[in-house]
Amino acid sequence: MTKFVSINGQTIRRNAISGERKPPIRIAKSRHDDKPVYASEVEILGAARLVYDPDKAIMRCGARLVLECTDVKIIR
């Protein structure tokens, strides 16, 4: 099953300003996943493909650049 990994830039900016340490890596089971998992570090298992679409969002969250992979291991 394909997983979609993207980076939440707003979380990174918010962490830099506020000093928070919320995890910015978003792992979704589908393009329209309403309950993604967030992490600070992941390991990509198996084949992966980096996809960028400058014309429209790939994911519901608005991401235009995603890593499609078969599986990920959340380290933290």
Tens digit of each residue's pLDDT (9 = 90 or more) over 27-68: 999 999 989 999 999 999 999 999 999 999 999 999 999 999
Parse the chain into domains and list their residue ranges. Answer: 3-74
List pLDDT tens digits, range 11-31. Answer: 999 999 999 999 999 999 999
pTM here? 0.90
Edge-to-edge strands, sheet with 37-39: 37-39, 25-28, 3-7, 65-74, 42-52
